[in-house]
Amino acid sequence: MKKSERSALILEALSKVIELPKSELVFNSPFQLICAVLLSAQCTDKRVNMTTPALFERYPSARELAEADVEDVYGIISSISYPRAKARHLVEMAKMMVRDFGAEVPSEHSDLVKLPGVGDKTANVVESIAFGHPTIAVDTHVFRVSHRLGLSKGKTPKAVTEDLVKAIPPQLRGDAHHYLLLFGRYTCKAVNPLCENCPLTKYCVSKSRFKA
């Protein structure tokens, strides 16, 4: 079976068990989205959503955040993982947005990855959600699920991204990212995956490893 055929069957099955293939991060603008995604690295969306309301109330746009004291930002986000580095990245990112992009979030990948704290994954998420670009962001969940379902053998997130982009048509990539992410977050977990409740066992190339 070709990977394009395999991915189509997998996405069809997931569409029957996941009602809303969308981000669980709470945001109201591209600026809030990129901040939330940056904060979500090695941190749960739930924790990020508990943190961002105070951040966005004090710094509603890149212009305000660019003028922020890093220590003040650190105090607001101190409950999340790596708060000092993320506080610094947030302020530096806002400064670059103001200086180079008119205080707006750039829409092109090459510009997004120039921003402090923004790598390929964050850029792909912002491109897909905020601007509707046909890309797929590969986080730890998507990386794991893609291997277990035989969609990729790539050893890096970039390699997995390339495999998924080849296998999944442009119009489905946005939803595909969320389907695979949510499936990995709640069913195909890294530890103790819920194989007994999995709708994709016939596609799993690792099922012998995860028998109950």
pLDDT tens digit string along 93-137?
Answer: 999 999 999 999 999 999 999 999 999 999 999 999 999 999 999
What's the whole-model pTM score?
Answer: 0.90
The catalytic residue among 2, 45, 120, 139 is 139
Looking at 86, 121, 163, 175, which residue is catalytic?
A: 121
What's the rounded Cα separation, in Å, for the pair 109 and 3?
26
Q: Which residues contact 203 (CB under 8 A, 6 or more apart)?
A: 6, 9, 10, 13, 149, 150
Read off the pLDDT of residues 34-73 as tens digits, 9 standing for 90 and up. Answer: 999 999 999 999 999 999 999 999 999 999 999 999 999 9
Report how far apart, in Å, the C-alpha atoms of 170 and of each of 57, 59, 88, 210 are: 36, 35, 35, 32
Residue 69 known to be catalytic: no
Q: How confident is the model at residue 209 (pLDDT cuts 50, 70, 90)?
A: low
**Does residue 207 carry a catalytic annotation?**
no
Distance (Å, whole) CA 45 – CA 178:
13
Mean pLDDT of 161-170: 96
For residue 1, the model assigns a pLDDT of 85
